[in-house]
Amino acid sequence: MEVIVVGAGPAGMMAAIQAAREGARVTVLERKDKPLKKLYATGNGRCNFSNLNMEGDVYRGNDPGFARMVTDCYDRNSLLLFFHNLGMMTKHIGDYIYPYNEQARSVADALLLECRRLSVRIKCDEQVVDIIPKSDPDDSDSGFDIRTITGKYNCDKVIVATGGKASPAHGSDGNLNGVLISLGHTMITQRPALVPLKFSDKRLGKLAGVRIKCAVSLTADGEAVADERGEIILNKDNISGIPVMQMSRYATEALAQGRVTEVHIDLFPDETQDELKVLLNNTFHPEYAVFDRCEQGNRVKRSDIRRDRSALEALSLCLNEKLAEYCLSLARIVPGSLGGNVSDGTLNRLAGILKDMRVTVTGDAGYERAQVTSGGISTDELTADLGSRLIPGLYIVGELCDVDGTCGGYNLQWAFSSGALAGTDAAGGIK
């Protein structure tokens, strides 16, 4: 059995290993000059490859149940066992799972050492440009001709693991999509996901570098679409941070539909607006004790409002100063004006802004800055082992499929799980 894997990313390398373990002769064709280029960049070089918590809405796409089925079948424990058997220790920080030394290189080395042991051939600088099923498409043994820019290969089974379009510098740019479409496959519209969201508000851009722990929600034409909580980062022309990245696939979709897309930032997620109003009142109008001497000479205590601080100085006591200045301007409060003079009504307006600071989204930061791609080959056309229902003997795995995960190691778990099932099945292994 001759298996060709197209693309030496995590999905392709896992597929190659599993097929070789089942006794197939395996060749991996990779367009870049070395395998696993993107893997080295994952998790800021630490490679968060899975998660202790696989529950909930962690996979997206037209059929999230498909991703669930595949990642249940070859699950987190199967993946941990796989790496432990290769001698790579692992650890978790919170729920996120990493190699023990927190170096992506260890994950790459573990995969490459196993490929070497199994005599998997990895041919770099080989870009596949066509996949041609041999004469009888109904006969799964008829095989494929694989054309690269410079050469030709033959195989019985082919596993396509060319990734999505995110981070094209690492080799994945959708260059083989046309071939899969011409073979009859449906491409669900691809868009950047896990990507910073752009805005055009120049005043907001002046807050670049500010990090905010907050709750965020996304609306499209005023309709609630997603919500998250965590730390966001304001940049010159975009917002990033895990909560924004998680919501971004819905933002790119809404923008493509021409809907008005807004991020709502709740700067005080643990307080209701009324509670916040009380806190602001205390900050802007703090009372202090005054002792007046009355006619009989006794001291009488009364309270007065401090008038020692500007509105900006007051709000900066509980908010980053640049952010405080921006929010004051939204509430039409002059930053240098006396805090004690800000009326109750105006404080109420400020509380409303702090609970719902809105950022109109004008776009996304593009595939160059995206961590994954939403959309891809429709999973309706794939078997539970990632085999094509249209072209027997062809498999489609990893980010190329219409599956995208949230942050936390879910995308690599999907890549490894889908690659493992396809590799085993392609080589005719035990299900």
Ligand X SMILES: Cc1cc2nc3c(=O)[nH]c(=O)nc-3n(C[C@H](O)[C@H](O)[C@H](O)COP(=O)(O)OP(=O)(O)OC[C@H]3O[C@@H](n4cnc5c(N)ncnc54)[C@H](O)[C@@H]3O)c2cc1C
The DSSP-derived string for 168-222 is GGGT-SSTTHHHHHHTT--EEEEEEES--EE---HHHHTTTT-EEEEEEEEEETT
* Burial (0-12, 13-18, 19+ Cβ within 10 Å), 395: buried
57 three-class SS: coil
Residue among 24 and 122 whose Cβ is closer to ligand X? 122
Among 48, 177, 320, 388, binds ligand X (CB under 6 A): 48
Among 176, 193, 315, 396, binds ligand X (CB under 6 A): 176
Among 228, 325, 399, 425, binds ligand X (CB under 6 A): 399
Identify the residue whose tokens are 């085999």.
Answer: 387
Q: Which strands, in side-by-side order, build the sheet including 50-51? A: 50-51, 96-99, 90-93
Residue among 73 and 124 whose Cβ is closer to ligand X? 124
Question: What are the residues facing 153 on neighbouring strands?
Answer: 146
Using CB under 6 A, which of the segments 59-67, 77-85, 253-261, 405-413 binds ligand X? 405-413
Among 54, 312, 333, 372, binds ligand X (CB under 6 A): 372
Residue among 28 and 324 whose Cβ is closer to ligand X? 28
Using CB under 6 A, which of the segments 36-44, 252-260, 288-296, 387-395 binds ligand X? 36-44
Residue 245 interacting with ligand X (CB under 6 A): no
Residue 162 interacting with ligand X (CB under 6 A): yes
CA gap 164, 24 in Å, rounded = 26
How many chain residues interact with ligand X (CB under 6 A)? 38
Among 32, 60, 76, 277, binds ligand X (CB under 6 A): 32
Q: How far is the CB of 134 from ligand X (least distance, A)?
A: 20
Q: How far is the CB of 268 from ligand X (least distance, A)?
A: 30
Which residues, 6 or more positions from 53, have their beta carbon under 8 angstroms from its beta carbon? 95, 408
Which residues, 6 or more positions from 85, have their beta carbon under 8 angstroms from its beta carbon? none
Using CB under 6 A, which of the segments 64-72, 110-118, 384-392, 408-416 binds ligand X? 408-416
CA gap 347, 344 in Å, rounded = 5
For 65, 142, 243, 424, the CA distances from 402, given in Å and listed in that order, are 12, 28, 22, 21
Among 5, 16, 26, 31, binds ligand X (CB under 6 A): 31
Q: How far is the CB of 160 from ligand X (least distance, A)?
A: 9
Residues that bind ligand X (CB under 6 A): 6-12, 29-32, 37-39, 41-43, 48, 127-128, 161-163, 166-167, 171-172, 175-176, 371-372, 398-399, 409-412, 415
